[in-house]
Structure 1
Amino acid sequence: MAKKYLVLAAAAVGVALLAGIISACVLLIGGESDSPAAVPVFSTGGDMLDYLKQMGHIGETDGLLATWFHRANNKSEMNKALTTPVMILEADITLEGYGTVNQSLVPIMAHPPDIYSDNTLDQWLDAVLSSDKGIKLDFKSLESVGPSLDLLNEKNNRTRINRPVWVNADIVQGPNVPNFLPAINGTRFLEVVQEKFWDVTLSPGWKATYLPPILVGTYTRTMVEEMYELVKDVPQKVTFPVHAMMVRSGWQHISWILSQSSNYSLTLWQGSIHPPLDDLLFVRDNSHPARVYYDIYEPTLTQFKGAARSQNRVRRFYPGGDLMDFLHPAQHLEDSFLSGRPDSLAVSWFTVTDGSSLSARLADEVGGMLVLHVAPHGEKPRFPVVQRSGSQPLTLEEVLQTLGQHPKAPWGIYLRVHSYEVLEDSLDLLRSAYTTERLYRPVWISVEDPNSSNSTEDFVSTVERLFPYVTLVLAEQTWPSVVPPAVSGLSQRVALHLDTAAVLGGETQRRSLTQLMDRYHFILEWKEESRAGDLAVLKALRDQHSGRDDAKLYVMSEES
């Protein structure tokens, strides 16, 4: 199946190039005549925001600006939708008489439990194609997919659909839905799309519900990995529909799948319960505007737009997010060719030893990472304090309180925990600060306890259980090293903390570094005896690396 996807990907590129040439010719011809301007050609698999911007509906490629009409199924609702200024019509497809002896192969516009309608897909397309609205088709049964895509292909060959088409189906079992209500077979759904009408945007979802106070689970690592295995080789753009009431609690895993490809986006949707404004702002603050659509109802949508535009609000940064995005927000770096990418090797690292130096550093607008060496209090073994903080120990709780008082200070924190005794207590404090809205900055954490018999597996499981919204750091004593299996496949970011001299000791060490930069961040500790030329070598290694954009090299001094 993967081979088929690759062949189709090559074909898609060819079609896109041809469409671009035709479009250019149409525009040139139109410019030389007195006839009305021709409508530019647009692929059914093209980007929805690009289309809306091209048609003049939005001024910038921002998913928050796109507007939706739900369940435009029967003729009354469809006609109502066509008279509104909404930009995208969402409608549901099943087969006439589905599940009965009267079932036919005629696709109709109806949402279960309805199996009859006054509107067929054929009629619906004829009406909608007379407008300039985008199309999202939600398939409620696998049997309806083939006949519907055959009809789309026929319409496109005859008159050109000339706008983006999204095809949606819930293909993975999601939160709070029992197994006796199965999702559509994902493998078969994707095969039918490739066979029948592949030039679309895929919208593969999780079959999910949210009914408090009982059914309040969220997206899990298993659910997200199952989805990724299904779609990782498809040639199309993919937008994952995610329930807005569960997106924040599942962000650890949702953000992971979003990061796997620049062709991926999210579409937040809501049920009968309006999502909290803070949750929507959280997603907004941890994603690029062009990669999240908000299919949210009024009045919440208008309230959200107003809050999102506020210049003075605090950014709700995900503690497990990328440090460089925190210091240099991605949405403000639209043109990387002009602005250049921020240099991770230039990030400042500062070791906190007392409250006054912490407060002074938080006033520094340059920002960077605050390094906290955390150990047990002498008289209270399970009471985390900052090492080197003198006769009046600075507690981790006091540090977090101070950070909460400076929410806009551009500093993340790196907790170097020197005893397993205080790992759980440290994580509890982080969780408390986060749940009380006092921790919107990157959090990195390592355990460096040579006297402990605890393994990396113990470290990872403790973090997963108590506060998983962090970047995990492994302090490696030798290099090249074997990265423990416990960190493979994690949805969190993982960094390896190494000695610079060990990494740059020879060609083998350097090769190992570049090979692992596809998967991990690196903190290279700068010793006093490090050579001046080592930094140049590190810059060269970074520049040669062509892997993930978010894999970074950081350098910190030995004193940190």
Structure 2
Amino acid sequence: NRPRRFYPGGDIIDYFRPMNRDGLNIQWDTVTNKDYLLYLLEVFFADSQGGMLVIPVISSVGQPNIPVIHGSQPELPLQDCLELILASKKSWGIYLRIKSKSQLSLTLELLRQAYDRDLLHHPTWVNMDIAHGAFYIQDYVTGAEFLRTIDQIFPYVTLAPGWPKEVLDEGYKPELVEDMVQLFQGAWQDVSLQLHAETLYRTVTGCRSLLHAQSRFSMTLEHRAEDRGLNSWTASLMAIRALNRQQSFYNMLNMYREHIC
């Protein structure tokens, strides 16, 4: 019963229609190579409604103008990865994790081409850790560059910015949150701010204000398998979820999401 067409910058709640319109009920997984992508597309989500696919993008070895999937052996070009996802009959969201401005431009160009071919009807998020104001760190793409590049090449996405890890030793301090909100409050796209679960617990009170900043803002809480267990932070994640279940999402494996019910 899903609409045939979907605006790629649209709300993933409207796209996936999770139980109780709860962001916790949207599944996430990370693409690591072609075999695992095919497993996700054909087997893992066979009995489900699909989910968000996190795609870490780097430059090809020896061919910097070709974006590929980080860690894939043999290298899986991003273009091939996107074509496999877009050819699937299931419902997939595309989450692109990008590290450099050159990769950002190349990735956006591939999205623009897919959109122009009338193929891109999936929620599409563009993630980068960026530098701005209180979280300005040299060698990171600035927030202004991030916004300008997206608007110039392919703006029909959800913006998914994160903070440089170097500024998070004391958690998400008020000045970090305020400067991020200020940077994106003028953007016309939806914005989902990316937070690490292992950092969030130190400053959960300050992060609550994010969901009240603007109706277009959401939060995505990430926990990676290599990080420590969630036991210390479950209460913080539950507190965030209680604020608005339609504006908080959980980029983590099922075994971790089950602890936040």
TM-score range, shorter chain: 0.7 to 0.9
C-alpha deviation, 1:325, in angstroms: 1.1
Q: Say if 1:448 and 1:383 are closer, same or farther in 2 by CA, change over 3 A.
A: farther
Q: In the alignment, does 2:107 pair up with 1:426?
A: yes
Q: C-alpha distance in 1, partners of 2:35/2:69?
A: 13
C-alpha deviation, 1:468, in angstroms: 0.5
C-alpha deviation, 1:316, in angstroms: 0.9
Q: In the alignment, does 2:167 pair up with 1:488?
A: no
With normalisation by structure 1, the TM-score equals 0.38
Q: Which residue of 2 aligns with 1:502?
A: 199
Q: Which residue of 2 aligns with 1:33?
A: none
Which amino acid in structure 1 is aligned with residue 252 of structure 2? S
Q: Say if 1:462 and 1:514 are closer, same or farther in 2 by CA, change over 3 A.
A: closer
Q: Which residue of 2 aligns with 1:358?
A: 37
C-alpha deviation, 1:401, in angstroms: 1.3
Q: In the alignment, does 2:83 pair up with 1:401?
A: yes
The Cα offsets for residues 53-93 of structure 1, whole Å up to 9 and x where unpaired, read as xxxxxxxxxxxxxxxxxxxxxxxxxxxxxxxxxxxxxxxxx
Structure 1: gaps (5+ residues):
1-310, 330-339
Q: Is the 8 A contact 2:59 2:103 kept in 1?
A: yes
Q: C-alpha distance in 2, partners of 1:448/1:403?
A: 25
Q: C-alpha distance in 1, partners of 2:72/2:243?
A: 41
Equivalent residue of 1:320, what SS? coil
Q: C-alpha distance in 2, partners of 1:388/1:469?
A: 28
Equivalent residue of 2:65, what SS? coil
Q: Which residue of 1 aligns with 2:121?
A: 440
Quick one: higher RCO (CA 8 Å, sep 6+), 1 or 2? 2
Q: In the alignment, does 2:23 pair up with 1:344?
A: yes
Equivalent residue of 1:321, what SS? coil
Q: Is the 8 A contact 1:319 1:469 kept in 2?
A: yes
Q: Is the 8 A contact 1:403 1:438 kept in 2?
A: no
Q: Is the 8 A contact 2:129 2:163 kept in 1?
A: no
The Cα offsets for residues 439-466 of structure 1, whole Å up to 9 and x where unpaired, read as 1111000224777353111110110111
C-alpha deviation, 1:356, in angstroms: 2.0
CA RMSD in angstroms, aligned pairs only: 2.6
C-alpha deviation, 1:350, in angstroms: 1.0
Which amino acid in structure 2 is aligned with residue 394 of structure 1? L
Q: How many residues align?
A: 231
Structure 2: gaps (5+ residues):
131-136, 254-261
Which amino acid in structure 2 is aligned with residue 554 of structure 1? F
Which amino acid in structure 2 is aligned with residue 319 of structure 1? P
Q: Say if 1:476 and 1:454 are closer, same or farther in 2 by CA, change over 3 A.
A: closer
**Match runs of 1:48-447 below 5 Å:** 315-328=4-17, 341-363=20-42, 364-365=45-46, 366=48, 367-390=50-73, 392-406=74-88, 408-447=89-128
Q: In the alignment, does 2:223 pair up with 1:535?
A: no
The Cα offsets for residues 265-286 of structure 1, whole Å up to 9 and x where unpaired, read as xxxxxxxxxxxxxxxxxxxxxx
Which amino acid in structure 2 is aligned with residue 495 of structure 1? S
C-alpha deviation, 1:517, in angstroms: 7.0
Q: Which residue of 2 aligns with 1:462?
A: 149
The Cα offsets for residues 302-339 of structure 1, whole Å up to 9 and x where unpaired, read as xxxxxxxxx6x97111110111111118xxxxxxxxxx
Which amino acid in structure 2 is aligned with residue 452 of structure 1? D
Q: Is the 8 A contact 1:504 1:510 kept in 2?
A: no
C-alpha deviation, 1:510, in angstroms: 4.6
The Cα offsets for residues 331-363 of structure 1, whole Å up to 9 and x where unpaired, read as xxxxxxxxx623212322111111122122122
C-alpha deviation, 1:379, in angstroms: 1.1
Q: Is the 8 A contact 1:403 1:439 kept in 2?
A: no
Q: Say if 1:533 and 1:518 are closer, same or farther in 2 by CA, change over 3 A.
A: farther
C-alpha deviation, 1:508, in angstroms: 3.6
With normalisation by structure 2, the TM-score equals 0.78
Q: C-alpha distance in 1, partners of 2:61/2:82?
A: 20
Percent identity of paired positions between Structure 1 and Structure 2: 32
Q: C-alpha distance in 2, partners of 1:525/1:326?
A: 21
The Cα offsets for residues 14-53 of structure 1, whole Å up to 9 and x where unpaired, read as xxxxxxxxxxxxxxxxxxxxxxxxxxxxxxxxxxxxxxxx
Which deviates more from structure 2 when the two are superposed, residues 439-448 or residues 529-538? 529-538
Q: Is the 8 A contact 1:471 1:492 kept in 2?
A: yes
Q: Is the 8 A contact 1:376 1:419 kept in 2?
A: no
Q: Which residue of 2 aligns with 1:522?
A: 219
C-alpha deviation, 1:519, in angstroms: 4.4
Which amino acid in structure 2 is aligned with residue 370 of structure 1? L
Equivalent residue of 1:459, what SS? helix
Equivalent residue of 1:358, what SS? helix
Q: Say if 1:542 and 1:376 are closer, same or farther in 2 by CA, change over 3 A.
A: same
Equivalent residue of 1:483, what SS? helix
Q: C-alpha distance in 1, partners of 2:204/2:147?
A: 31
